Amino acid sequence: MNPDSNIPSTGPKPHMNPYLAGVLLGLVLLASFLTLGVGLGASAGIARAGAFAQSCIMPQHVADSAYFGTWGKDPLRYYLVFMFVGTLLGGLVSAIMGRRVRPQLERGPTASRSRRIVMALAGGILAGFASRVASGCTSGQALTGGAMLATGSLLFLGAMFASGYAMAWFVRRQWQ
């Protein structure tokens, strides 16, 4: 196969077959189970970055706080922080290879810039908060726990899509 010859050299390459991408993702997750002994995760890395940022401004407050305080002086010394950095790097390499690095604010054709920014920020705050409540996100709960067949993680997956679909109708104009 030499797909390069068929594709204009400036445009993005097509994505991988989603089923094969899923197999690849599943194999990475399985490798994580069998080597680290834990699954994949993303939200903990973000939360720890948040704790770190806050402790730069108010170190004592963070050290004394009930949740972040338990992460010790150096919240970034944690395997999921390293995993998050790896995720960024892996995404970057893949995006460069596929010529898909496109600096932009991605939004629907009728959505304004400010509307998109507000939606991304509000969604981020909610998702960040929710992932602390549930100790995980799409990766750490739904994907990891789902593959383990853990009852609570499968319920998280179900609840996530249930409220997602319920809410989707209200914000449908974002992408129309």
Partner 1 sequence: MITTFFGQDGLGSSAAFVLSLLLGFGFGFALEQAGFGSSRRLAGIFYFRDMTVLRVMFTAMVTAMLGLQLALALGVVSPEQIYFLPTIYGAQIVGGLLFGVGFVLSSWCPGTAAVGLASGRLDALIFLGGAALGSILFNEFYGIVGPLATWGDSGVKFMWAAIGVSGPVFALLFSAVAVAAFWGSEWIEKKVAGAGPYLGSPFLKAFSVTILVGALAVALLPPATSSTTVTAPAAVSETGMLQAMEAGEDHIDPDELADRLMAGDSSLLLVDIRTPAEFAAFHIRGAVNVAAADLPEVLGPHKNKGTVVLYSNGMTHPAQARDSLARMGFANAYLLTDGLQGFMQQVLKPVSLRSTPLSEAQAGKVNAWRAFFLSGPQSHAAKTVDTASDTPRLVETSWLQENLGRVDLRIIDLRPQPAYNVGHIPGSVRMDVEHFRGAVGGVSSMLLPADLIARHLGLLGINLETTVVLVPTDKLQDATLVGMALERIGHMRYAILNGGWEQWVAEKRPTDTLLPTITATEYPVPTGADTFTVDYQQVLALSQNRGAVLLDVRPGDFFAGKKSDEARAGRIPGAVNRPFTLDVSTNNAVIRFKPSSELAEAYAKLIPSKDSPVVVSCRTGHQASQTYFVLRHLLGYRRVSWYDGGWAEWASRPELPIETGGG
User: Nearer to partner 1 by C-beta: 2 or 108?
Assistant: 108
Least distance from C-beta 63 to partner 1, angstroms?
10
The helix-helix angle for 43-57 and 113-133 (nearest 10°) equals 100
Structural contact between residues 156 and 134, judged by C-beta atoms closer than 8 angstroms: yes
User: Nearer to partner 1 by C-beta: 6 or 123?
Assistant: 123
Output DSSP code: residue 141. I
Residue in 64, 58, 30, 67 with CA at minimum distance from that of residue 144: 30
User: Nearer to partner 1 by C-beta: 6 or 70?
Assistant: 70
Enter the tokens of residue 53: 């940022």
Least distance from C-beta 1 to partner 1, angstroms?
15
Least distance from C-beta 2 to partner 1, angstroms?
19
Output DSSP code: residue 40. -
User: Nearer to partner 1 by C-beta: 7 or 38?
Assistant: 38
Least distance from C-beta 5 to partner 1, angstroms?
21
Least distance from C-beta 74 to partner 1, angstroms?
11
Structural contact between residues 55 and 62, judged by C-beta atoms closer than 8 angstroms: yes
CB neighbourhood size of 104 (10 A) = 5
User: Nearer to partner 1 by C-beta: 6 or 106?
Assistant: 106
State the chain's maximal CA–CA distance in angstroms: 60
